[in-house]
Amino acid sequence: MKEFLTDVETLRKRARENMDKGSVTDAYGADLERVLYVLNQALATELVCVLRYKRHYYTAKGIDAQPAADEFLQHAGEEEGHANQIAARISQLGGEPDFNPETLLERSHSEYNSSTKLKKMIQEDLVAERVAIASYTEIIAWLGDGDPTTRRMLEEILAVEEEHAEDMLDLLGGLT
């Protein structure tokens, strides 16, 4: 059997040092400042996605496109869930989740869209999902084994974004 890396005495001693860091120990293998920065970008991305999907939900409802509106509302709820997960992880890592609306769009990878045409809404949502998929894939690869908890959370979110992209593609196909 592979021997344990650090002896128990040292592990216990280290755990008592820097107790104010909470869950972040010497074993944390990622660049914490950079992780917090990237997570705040992801938080902004999710929040912009919530706003865009909400806007599309209420606009599509107005033009009587109920099936699309239902998808938009469901996605808005799921993006909000992602934002909550990411904000909680930022706090757990000792950072500050940034909800400042003034800088939201600058920090977001995805874009807002206020189209009134259903097809354009769906296209823009598909693009935003593809942006999120590409950026989460990069972040996951960059994290490697340095922060398995953050990586696992992002992997779960990524899987949902892939479903979202599929949903938007299906909606788009149903239009033509």
- Interacting residues toward Fe ion by CB under 5 A: 46, 79, 82, 129, 161, 164
Instruction: Name residue, tokens 């874009």.
Output: 111
End-to-end CA separation in angstroms for the chain: 60
Helix ranges, 3-145 (H): 8-16, 32-62, 66-92, 104-107, 118-143
Instruction: Determine contact, residues 37/25, Cβ cutoff 8 Å.
Output: no
* Residue nearer to Fe ion on the CB measure, 30 or 157: 157
Residues in CB range of 162: below 8 A, 6 or more apart: 129, 133
Rounded-to-integer distance, Cα 72 and Cα 54, Å: 7
> Considering only CA atoms, which of 108, 56, 46 is closest in space to residue 82?
46
Q: Could you tell me the smallest distance in angstroms from the CB atom of residue 11 to Fe ion?
A: 36
Q: Could you tell me the smallest distance in angstroms from the CB atom of residue 129 to Fe ion?
A: 5
* Residue nearer to Fe ion on the CB measure, 28 or 54: 54
Q: Could you tell me the smallest distance in angstroms from the CB atom of residue 47 to Fe ion?
A: 10
Q: Could you tell me the smallest distance in angstroms from the CB atom of residue 128 to Fe ion?
A: 7
Q: Could you tell me the smallest distance in angstroms from the CB atom of residue 162 to Fe ion?
A: 9
* Residue nearer to Fe ion on the CB measure, 28 or 112: 112
* Residue nearer to Fe ion on the CB measure, 46 or 147: 46
Q: Could you tell me the smallest distance in angstroms from the CB atom of residue 167 to Fe ion?
A: 9
Rounded-to-integer distance, Cα 88 and Cα 96, Å: 10
* Residue nearer to Fe ion on the CB measure, 31 or 80: 80
DSSP 103: G
* Residue nearer to Fe ion on the CB measure, 31 or 54: 54
